[in-house]
Structure 1
Amino acid sequence: MTAVPADSTPAQEPTTRSRFLASFLENPLAVVGVGIVVLFVAFCYLGPLVYHTDQTHIELSESTLAPSAAHLLGTNEVGYDQLGRLMLGGQSSLEVGIAAAALGTAFGTLWGAIAGYAGGFVDAIMMRVVDALLAVPSLFLLLFLASIARPTVGLLVLVIALISWLGPARLVRGQALTLRTRDYVAAVRLMGGGPWRAVLRHITPNAIGTVVVNATFQVADAILIVAALSFLGLGIPPPAANWGDMLSNGINYTYDGYWWLIYPPGLAIVLVVVAFNLIGDALRDSFEVRLRKR
C-alpha cells in the first residue's frame, strides 16, 4: 500500500457560501444584472466628477440644443445639460429606490416574523392590518400622501416604504409559521429565551433567503414608483431631478424630434429595473437548495 504523506489533507468540501456564490455566478443573466447596476452607480456618482455641468442655473438661450461636443446628450427645455441631468436624476432614483426597499423590507420582515411567531390573536390582528392596507390601491395611497406635503427625497422614501413593507410581511410571516415549530426555536423557549431572541436570532436569520430575494424586487418596484409619481407631477421639485421627472418633461416634446429628452431617461429606468429583476431571479435560484449544483 502507498503511504499517504503526513502533510497531506483531504480536499475540503465546498462551503455553503462558496456553493451559493458559484451558483449565482453560473447564471450569466445575474452577472449582466450586477454589471448594469455597477455601471449605473459609477455613472451617477463618479460621472459628475469627470463630466462637470451646471444643474442649478437656468439657461433658456441654450434650451433643447441637439447633442454636440459641448453637450454630449444635448440640453433640456430650460438649458440644463441632459447628460449631467441624467447623472443627477440617477442619484435620486437609486437613493430613493434602495432606501425605500431597505426600510420597507426591514420593517416588513420584523412585522411578519413577530406575527408568525406569536400566532393566535396577535397574528390575526397584525395580518388584518396588512390585509386592510393591501385593499387600498397603492397608487391612490401614494398620490394622497405625496400630495399633502412637499415631496423630498426623505418623504418619497417614507411614502414608498409605507406600501413596500406589506409584501415582505406576508412572506416572512409564512416562513415564521413553519420555523416556530423547529427544534431550535423550541429549545430557546425551554432555556428561558424571550420571544425577541427567538425572532431576531433564529426566525429572521433563517428567512434571510426570502428577504434578500424580495428586497431586490422591491428596489426595482420602488424605482418604478418614483418614476410614476414624478411622471404624474409629484416628484422632487427642481433643481433636483430624477429619471421619471426627466421622462415626464420629455414627453411634451415627443412630436418635436427631441429624442434626447425621452430615450436616455426611459432607457435608464428600463435597464436598472431589469437588472435588479435579473439579480433577484438569480438570488432566488441560488437560495433554492434544489437548484444548487452539487
Structure 2
Amino acid sequence: MTTATAAQPATQPAARSPFRRGLRRFLQNKLALFGVVTIVLFLLFCFLGPILHPTDQVHTDLKSTMLPPGTPGHPLGTDDVGYDVLGRLMIGGQVSILIGLAAGILATVIGTLWGAIAGYVGGTVDAVMMRIVDAGIAIPATFLLLILSAIMRPSVPLMIVVIGLVSWLVPARLVRAESISLKSREYVLAIRAMGGTHGRAVVKHIVPNTVGTIVVNATFQVADAILLVAYVSFLGMGLQKPATDWGAMLTGGMTYTYAGAWWLIFPAGLCIVLTVCAFNSIGDGLRDFFDVKGRDR
C-alpha cells in the first residue's frame, strides 16, 4: 500500500508552466507562425540579400533604364534611372524595417512610462497627462509628419524620432488602464508601506506586470510605423534619392504604371502588405501567449 501510494504521484503528468502553455497557444496560431517566418525571411532578404546580389544604388545608369524583369543581371528589371529594382527593394526594405522597429520601440518606451506614471499617480496629474494624450490623438499623425518633412530635410534618424513621438499615445492609454488596476494590488501597497518610492513602485512592479500589453502593442506599433513611412514617402515627403524606402519606390513607379511597368510598384507594394500583415499576425499570437486565462486547446 505504501509503495503504490508513493508511486501514484509519479504517474501523473507534470503541470505545464505558464510559459509552455503560452508557447503552445502561440504555436497553434498559424497566422502568428506565418508572421514569424515572413519577418525572418524579410530580414534575410533585406540585410543579407545585398551581399549575394550587390548592386549600385548610388550612381544612375541611363543606358539601362526601364529594363523588364528577367533581363540578365536584373531579375526584377530596372527603374527610370537605371537602378536595379531587386537591389533597390533590399535597400528600401532595410530603411523601412529599421525605421519601423526603432520608431515602434521608441513609441512603446515613451507610452509605457507616460501611461504607467499617469495611472499610478492618478488625480490631477493623471487628468493633465491624459488630456495631453487626448489632444495628441486628435491630430492626425500623417499631417504632423508632412508638416515636419516640409520644414526639415527628412533623414532616417529624424523619421525615427518624429514617428516615435507621434505614435506613443495609444500605448500610453493602454498602459495607463493597466496601471490603474495594478496600483491597488497587495505587492504594490506593500512596497509603499515599507517606504519604497513611487518611482520604484512604477519601475519594479507596475511596468513589469504590464509586459504582456506592452509587447503585444509594440508589434502593432512597428507595423503602424512602417505604414507611416510608406504614407509620407508615397506623398513625396520622405527620403530623397539615392536613399529610398518601399513607399518612395511606389511613388517613383506610379508615373510609369500606365506604361505597363508593373515591376516598379508591385514588388514594393507586396513587401509593405506582407510585412505589416506579418507584424500584426505576430501581435495576435503574442496576445494568445500572454493570455493567462487562455485554455489549452
Q: TM-score, normalised by structure 1?
A: 0.96
Structure 2 residue 290 is the aligned partner of structure 1 residue 287: yes
Cα deviations across residues 56-96 of structure 1 (Å, max 9, x unaligned)?
A: 11001111101223100000111000000000000000000
The aligned runs of 1:3-82 (5 Å cut-off) are 11-67=13-69, 68-82=71-85
Paired with 2:201 and 2:37, the residues of 1 have a C-alpha distance of 38
Q: Could you say which residue in structure 1 is the equivalent of 2:157?
A: 154
Query: Structure 2 stretches of 5 or more lacking a match?
Result: none
Structure 2 residue 233 is the aligned partner of structure 1 residue 230: yes
Give the superposition deviation at 1:49.
0.9
SS at match of 2:161: helix
Q: Could you say which residue in structure 1 is the equivalent of 2:206?
A: 203
Paired with 1:154 and 1:225, the residues of 2 have a C-alpha distance of 15
Tell me, yes or no, if the aligned pair for 1:115 and 1:173 is still in contact at 8 Å: yes
Q: Could you say which residue in structure 2 is the equivalent of 1:254?
A: 257
The aligned runs of 1:154-233 (5 Å cut-off) are 154-233=157-236
Cα deviations across residues 137-189 of structure 1 (Å, max 9, x unaligned)?
A: 22211111222110000000111111110000000001101100101000010
Give the superposition deviation at 1:253.
0.6
Q: Could you say which residue in structure 1 is the equivalent of 2:276?
A: 273
Tell me, yes or no, if the aligned pair for 1:111 and 1:169 is still in contact at 8 Å: yes
SS at match of 1:58: coil
Q: Say which is worse superposed, 15-24 or 99-108, in terms of deviation.
A: 15-24
What amino acid does structure 1 have at the position aligned with 2:104?
Answer: A
Paired with 2:295 and 2:199, the residues of 1 have a C-alpha distance of 32
Cα deviations across residues 250-273 of structure 1 (Å, max 9, x unaligned)?
A: 111110111110100000000000
What amino acid does structure 2 have at the position aligned with 1:38?
Answer: V
Q: 1:103 aligns with which of 102, 106, 116?
A: 106
Aligned residues: 293
SS at match of 2:293: helix
Structure 2 residue 88 is the aligned partner of structure 1 residue 85: yes
Q: TM-score, normalised by structure 2?
A: 0.95
Tell me, yes or no, if the aligned pair for 1:286 and 1:292 is still in contact at 8 Å: no
Give the superposition deviation at 1:105.
0.5
Paired with 2:257 and 2:242, the residues of 1 have a C-alpha distance of 23
SS at match of 1:233: coil
SS at match of 2:77: coil
Cα deviations across residues 99-120 of structure 1 (Å, max 9, x unaligned)?
A: 0000000010000000000000
Paired with 2:295 and 2:38, the residues of 1 have a C-alpha distance of 24
Cα deviations across residues 215-236 of structure 1 (Å, max 9, x unaligned)?
A: 1111111000000000011111
SS at match of 1:54: coil
What amino acid does structure 1 have at the position aligned with 2:261?
Answer: Y
Q: Say which is worse superposed, 170-179 or 61-70, in terms of deviation.
A: 61-70
RMSD over aligned CA atoms reads 1.6
Paired with 2:206 and 2:13, the residues of 1 have a C-alpha distance of 33
Give identity over the alignment, percent.
Answer: 58
Paired with 1:77 and 1:114, the residues of 2 have a C-alpha distance of 52
Paired with 2:161 and 2:142, the residues of 1 have a C-alpha distance of 15
Paired with 1:48 and 1:239, the residues of 2 have a C-alpha distance of 16
Give the superposition deviation at 1:292.
3.6
What amino acid does structure 2 have at the position aligned with 1:157?
Answer: I
